[in-house]
């Protein structure tokens, strides 16, 4: 049987990806979302445009300054679009299939699947899989601790997240949004100062001043995790 060729994103998609990634990673989330919305509106038939709009919708939904109704609307859009992409029959042929699966798992709270995806990618020689390992393991550590699964079990997941973060840093040391997951894992391991430092380091990566309200919200979550493990 003849093997079907891989489906690649276009050169225009790649140029937009670089632009949007730079905007997002500098902490300008509203602008990154607006860019993605505009690109999708101009390219409604593009799978990449749809994917990027889904991701930016979901990530923008985490902005605590937005009204709750707007945040829920954004997350619902991210879930709907990411599911459509995940269920696309030709997804295995797409060059961004693994990334699309990661986002689908993330937006639907499927952390075990996200972790397993990362482990499979790493085993296949794809070091960017460490991102999924870190995020999935950190979320499972938090879930375990919060739902009474025990500190020891939570610490196993947290230690996996920390190891994955350190491996990911070797290949992409400037990517900021992995830091909150690393910080949560450190908190579950009892390292409060390290967790706070990891949160503050997000802003160094973004090249922006510390966003005090955001940092206070994240730090409160760290304090809650430290209290739960005590």
The per-residue pLDDT for range 143-180, each reduced to its tens digit, is 999 999 999 999 999 999 999 999 999 999 999 999 99
State the Cα torsion 23-29-34-39 to the nearest 10°. 50
Q: Name residues whose C-beta falls within 8 Å of residue 220's C-beta, 6 or more positions apart in sequence.
A: none
For helices 97-107 and 68-86, what crossing angle results, to 10°? 140
Judge if 9-108 and 109-230 fold alike in CATH terms. Answer: yes
The answer to whether 181 and 134 have CB atoms below 8 angstroms apart is yes
Domain 9-108: state its class. mainly alpha
Q: Is the pLDDT of residue 9 over 70?
A: yes
Residue-range domain boundaries for the chain: 9-108, 109-230
Residue 7 phi/psi, 5-degree rounding, is -100, 120
For helices 212-229 and 192-206, what crossing angle results, to 10°? 160
Closest CA to 86 of 126, 54, 121: 54
Question: What is the per-residue pLDDT for 1?
Answer: 42
The pLDDT tens digits for 77-136 are 999 999 999 999 999 999 999 999 999 999 999 999 999 999 999 999 999 999 999 999
Token digits for 127?
């070091």
The answer to whether 142 and 134 have CB atoms below 8 angstroms apart is no
User: pLDDT tier at 3 (50, 70, 90 boundaries)?
Assistant: low
Q: What angle do CA 162, 168, 170 make, to 5 degrees?
A: 115
The answer to whether 165 and 181 have CB atoms below 8 angstroms apart is yes
Residue 44 phi/psi, 5-degree rounding, is -65, -20
Question: What is the per-residue pLDDT for 86?
Answer: 98
The answer to whether 101 and 86 have CB atoms below 8 angstroms apart is yes
> CA 127, CA 53: separation in Å to the nearest integer?
25
Q: Is the pLDDT of residue 58 over 50?
A: yes
Q: What architecture is the 109-230 domain classified under in CATH? A: Alpha Horseshoe (1.25)
Beta bridge partners of 94: 7
Q: Name residues whose C-beta falls within 8 Å of residue 5's C-beta, 6 or more positions apart in sequence.
A: 93
The pLDDT tens digits for 10-21 are 999 999 999 999
Question: What is the per-residue pLDDT for 5?
Answer: 82
Q: Where are the alpha helices (DSSP H) in 108-128?
A: 111-123
The pLDDT tens digits for 175-211 are 999 999 999 999 999 999 999 999 999 999 999 999 9
Question: What is the per-residue pLDDT for 180?
Answer: 97
């Amino acid at each position: 049987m003849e093997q079907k060729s891989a489906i690649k994103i276009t050169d225009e998609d790649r140029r937009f990806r670089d632009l949007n990634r730079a905007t997002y990673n500098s902490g300008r989330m509203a602008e990154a979302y607006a860019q993605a919305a505009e690109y999708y509106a101009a390219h409604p038939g593009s799978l990449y445009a749809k994917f990027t709009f889904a991701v930016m919708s979901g990530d923008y939904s985490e902005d605590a300054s937005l009204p709750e109704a707007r945040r829920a609307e954004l997350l619902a859009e991210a879930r709907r679009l990411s599911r459509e992409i995940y269920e696309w029959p030709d997804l295995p042929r797409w060059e961004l299939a693994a990334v699309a699966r990661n986002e689908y798992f993330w937006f639907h709270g499927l952390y075990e699947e996200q972790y397993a995806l990362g482990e499979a990618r790493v085993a296949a020689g794809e070091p960017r899989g460490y991102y999924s390992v870190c995020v999935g393991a950190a979320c499972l550590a938090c879930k375990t601790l919060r739902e009474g699964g025990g500190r020891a079990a939570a610490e196993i997941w947290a230690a996996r997240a920390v190891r994955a973060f350190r491996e990911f840093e070797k290949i992409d040391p400037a990517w900021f949004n992995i830091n909150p997951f690393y910080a949560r894992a450190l908190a579950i391991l009892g390292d409060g100062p390290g967790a706070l430092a990891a949160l503050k380091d997000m802003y160094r990566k973004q090249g922006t001043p510390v966003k005090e309200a955001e940092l206070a919200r994240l730090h409160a979550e760290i304090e809650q995790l430290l209290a739960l493990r005590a």
